[in-house]
Structure 1
Amino acid sequence: MSASAASARPAAGAVTDGPATAGAGPDVAEAERPSWAPAGLAGRTRAPLWRVLRAEVAWVFRRPRTLAVLGLLTAIPVITGVALNIALGPQAAGPDGPGYTGSPGPALLTSMATSAFALPLGSLMTLLMMLLPLTVAMAAGDALAGEQSHGALRGWLLAPVSRGRLLLVKSVGVFAVGLVAASLVVLSGFLTGLALSGTDGLVSMSGDQLTFGDVLWRLALAVGWAALYLMAVGAVALAISASTEHPMVVVVSVLAGLIVSGVLMQIDALEPMHPYLLPTAVFGLTDLIRDPLAFGGMGEGLVRAGSYLVIGMSLAYARITTKDG
């Protein structure tokens, strides 16, 4: 083969909008057209973004460990509701009715025992401190570090796919896990609360009776807020995942960050540092349990989570665009 013929051949994995060989007729171009491509885009090898996103999300939720973790998260509010109803039910239904806080237990736990509204929110707050962030970290570790360790990520990097497009697809899969996990926790807790306490248990921590519609939109707001919080954790986990080939490093790093943040939050002398710790935002969900509503804590948590989200995605993009292989 002559040097001129070799230089005329397109590189492997290049995107071609026309026939692969100069002078090839329409029959050759039509034969090379992928099945999903329109007739006018003969030879194009780049799939639409929506198709790639759908395939990524489907692949994430086909992983057995993802399904196992989601099943565990769904079962925790059920176990919590039954246990609290047995242990604190008689005390919670004291002279002040549902939500009575005269018992020795904490006010939130007491309300969770008899309130179908407090149980899903209390369960969500508890799981946001540890298990839900670890679920997102596991998905982020599999998204980049896991595929790199198995050699699957090299195919993405060699294909005609930009690094930013790759990060976008992987981040959508990670964020979908966080949204589904938070939704399952709230739905499981709400159905458990209805089964244990009925609609009479739709009360706030202030003891005010809430309508069914009011409870539904508050729970939907809690799911959206928790999804953004988990997106922030996922962004940081993706930045770590883009810097290593070992998925467990991502999970352990996020776990270490949560533990250190929890310890720092217990030290009063470090109170000026608390606003910069992401887990501090979780307590903002208590605004939804009170009546009337107060969005100060939730708004501050959104700003904090948004800052972590921007920083984490920026670091992940900077790392993946400079990655050699």
Structure 2
Amino acid sequence: MTTPHPAATRGPATAPGPGVPAELPARRRAPLGRLLRAEVRWIFRRPRTLAVLALLAALPVITGVAVDLTLDGGGAPVDTGPPGAGPGASDGGPPIFVTMAASAFVLPLGSLMTLLMLLLPLTVAMASGDALAGEQSHGTLRGWLLAPVSRGRLLLVKAAGVLVVALVASGLVVTSGMVTGLVLTGTDGLVSMSGTELSMADVLGRLGLAVAWATLYLMAVGAVALAISAFTEHPMVVVVSVLGGLIVSVVLMQISALDWLHPFLLPSSLTSLVDLIRDPVSFDGLAEGAFRAGCYLVIGMSLAYARITTKAG
């Protein structure tokens, strides 16, 4: 028994009209690499994306200069770090923003920890909202499906675009903070919170690990935002939902009666970045935070995939 040709299942053939070829060429799937390049170009052509990235690059500079001027003026430094992120709270060490004045290594990590509380998640939420909800509201999402692009590949391309935004934003904050710290304190200021001097290779390795960890954290936020974006046509709903969830999580972390809930809240991982400033580095908190972010990433992408593949239209 032979398998019938696929053309045999299409019904009776009709005679081609004048000037019409007997057989039309099959439609090819759009190359994944071309789709990724087009998505990344489109993301970084948005003025709001460039404006947010410029703000992220400027904030570590402003923080470093402000701390340096405060200490040079003889004023008493105040720990303005994020809630629950003061490295000196548990071990009697100095607050992280005080240590910035003496260490070029602490400034990029301190800035990264602070911006991970709100502005960096805002950047990723904006990119995720524009990826699905924004394009659907403008009617441009249908063009992807006509490329032709399957819905699973579409979600993969959109997630890759969010990943690029998360990586660029995290790397920009750390790079800006490191350059600012070196300008203010010089290469002699590469010291840890424990007071030990670090080599440039050790500092760059720790900063690279911080960027990778922050990118995973932001991608977890982006996955949740993509899931919300797949259910709505309004990008602002995505941004407000994500930021509202993060703010509520931070508030719940301050309630001791809800200690049983804290391990399930994504922002509870942020304090583990302080371990990269200490010597030796403890990877327990970083590993736990990476696992928590991975769980959010899998759940968010699964919900987004289930929605986008079953959604009509």
Give me the TM-score of the superposition, normalised by structure 1: 0.83
Q: Is the 8 A contact 1:89 1:113 kept in 2?
A: no
What is aligned with 1:259?
247
1:63 aligns with 2:46: yes
How does 1:1-325 map onto structure 2 within 5 Å?
23=22, 44-89=27-72, 107-325=95-313
Amino acid at match of 2:236: M
Deviation at 1:87, TM superposition (A): 1.1
Deviations 1:220-273 (A, max 9, x none): 110001000011000000000000000000000011001101100111111111
CA 1:7/1:138 → structure 2, altered by over 3 Å: closer, same or farther? farther
Which moves more between the two structures, 82-91 or 57-66? 82-91
Amino acid at match of 2:240: V
Distance 1:213 1:119 in 2: 17
Distance 2:40 2:13 in 1: 39
What is aligned with 1:38?
none
Q: Is the 8 A contact 1:117 1:201 kept in 2?
A: yes
Distance 1:270 1:197 in 2: 42
Distance 1:157 1:23 in 2: 27
Structure 1: gaps (5+ residues): 10-19, 30-41, 93-100
CA 1:77/1:105 → structure 2, altered by over 3 Å: closer, same or farther? farther
Amino acid at match of 2:176: S
Deviations 1:39-67 (A, max 9, x none): xxx65442211111111111111111100
Amino acid at match of 2:174: V
SS at match of 1:114: coil
What is aligned with 2:4?
none
SS at match of 2:261: helix
Q: Is the 8 A contact 1:175 1:231 kept in 2?
A: yes
Percent identity, aligned pairs only? 71
Q: Is the 8 A contact 2:30 2:148 kept in 1?
A: no
CA 1:85/1:245 → structure 2, altered by over 3 Å: closer, same or farther? same
Indicate the structure whose relative CO is greater, using CA pairs within 8 Å and at least 6 residues apart.
Answer: 2
Task: Say what the alpha-carbon RMSD is for the aligned residues.
Answer: 2.5
Amino acid at match of 1:23: A
Amino acid at match of 1:273: L
Distance 1:210 1:186 in 2: 17
Distance 2:157 2:195 in 1: 45
Distance 1:257 1:116 in 2: 33
